[in-house]
């Protein structure tokens, strides 16, 4: 017995990386965002760590929208979605597979965003790399849990990116606040806020929405 969510994720990733557009688009958009925001301060002045963290997570949120639109449109051709639905496994595996491949794509995009933050926004102080990477991974988990659930509603539609972002962004607010706060801590602006309590909030968010997604996904991803 192979692990089916992993097989699904591997299939998605092969498709996306073979084509390339699915990953290049979010990376480019994120880099442009970072660059444009670097214009928000006068030349020679430093961008505050909190602003840099906010820009990083903004670029990531847009990447979430684009990534899951791509992932769920993969089955659009030839009604491959029906095949996926008919395969003998719980529907939630599809959510899991898409979340996993989404996580990989998101991390790939962030590999480009992180240096961009350092180069364009002049952030050179990193308090703790393992801590920062762990934080990014944890927050990404929440992002892909919600993204994979609501991204499924874009199935069968093209050009619904903007609609998805209007719905998803406000839901992600607690996670983004946590990300910005912890990000500014790791970029060396640890002003009083303790990352510990934010960590608790992120874990609560992840647990809540992972559970909600497992229960609710079958309702969204079906044949209508």
**DSSP code per residue over the chain:** ---HHHHHHHHHHHHHHHH-HHHHHHHHHHHHHHHHHHTTS-TTPPPPHHHHHHHHHHHHHHHHHHHHHHHHHGGGGGGHHHHHHHSSS-THHHHHHHHHHHHHHHHHHHHHHHHHHHHHS-----S-HHHHHHHHHHHHHHHHHHHHHHHGGGTT-SS-HHHHHHHHHHHTHHHHHHHHHHHHHHTT---S--HHHHHHHHHHHHHHHHHHHHHHHHHHSS--
Residues 171 to 210 in contact with another protein, rule: CB under 8 A: 171, 173-174, 177-178, 181, 191-193, 197-198, 201, 204-205, 208-209
- In whole angstroms, the minimum distance from the beta carbon of 136 to another protein comes to 18
- Each residue 87-126 as x (binds another protein by CB under 8 A) or -, in order, gives ----------------------------------------
Considering only the stretches 72-80, 90-98, 131-139, 156-164, report the one whose residues sit in contact with another protein under the rule CB under 8 A.
156-164
Nearer to another protein by Cβ, of 104 and 168: the residue is 168
- Of the candidate spans 41-49, 80-88, 132-140, 163-171, the one that interacts with another protein by CB under 8 A turns out to be 163-171
Gyration radius (Cα) of the chain, Å: 18
**89, 111, 125, 163: which one contacts another protein (CB under 8 A)?**
163
User: Of 2-10, 59-67, 71-79, 159-167, which part binds another protein (CB under 8 A)?
Assistant: 159-167
Single residue of 134, 153, 188, 214 touching another protein by CB under 8 A: 153
User: Contact, 55 vs 121, CB < 8 A?
Assistant: yes
Interface with another protein includes 224 (CB under 8 A)?
A: yes
Q: Pick the stretch among 20-28, 85-93, 128-136, 162-170 that binds another protein (CB under 8 A).
A: 162-170
Total of residues contacting another protein (CB under 8 A): 34
Residue 171 beta carbon to another protein: minimum distance, rounded to whole angstroms: 6
List contacts with another protein (CB under 8 A): 146, 149-150, 153, 156-157, 160, 163, 166-167, 169-171, 173-174, 177-178, 181, 191-193, 197-198, 201, 204-205, 208-209, 212, 216, 219-220, 222, 224
């Amino acid at each position: 017995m192979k692990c089916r969510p992993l097989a699904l994720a591997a299939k998605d990733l092969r498709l996306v990386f073979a084509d390339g557009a699915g990953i290049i688009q979010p990376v480019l958009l994120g880099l442009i965002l970072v660059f444009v925001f670097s214009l928000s301060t006068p030349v020679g002045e430093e961008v505050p760590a909190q602003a840099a963290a906010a820009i990083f997570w903004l670029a990531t949120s847009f990447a979430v929208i684009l990534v899951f639109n791509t992932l769920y449109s993969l089955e659009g051709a030839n009604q491959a979605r029906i095949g996926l639905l008919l395969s003998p496994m719980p529907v939630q595996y599809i959510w899991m597979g898409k979340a996993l491949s989404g996580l990989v794509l998101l991390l790939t995009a962030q590999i480009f965003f992180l240096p961009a933050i350092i180069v364009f926004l002049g952030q050179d102080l990193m308090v703790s790399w393992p801590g920062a990477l762990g934080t990014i991974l944890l927050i990404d988990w929440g992002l892909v849990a919600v993204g994979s659930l609501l991204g499924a509603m874009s199935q069968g539609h093209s050009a619904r990116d903007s609609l998805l972002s209007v719905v998803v962004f406000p839901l992600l607010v607690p996670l983004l606040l946590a990300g910005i706060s912890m990000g500014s801590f790791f970029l060396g602006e640890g002003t009083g806020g303790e990352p510990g309590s934010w960590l608790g909030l992120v874990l609560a968010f992840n647990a809540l929405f992972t559970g909600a997604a497992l229960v609710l996904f079958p309702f969204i991803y079906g044949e209508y």
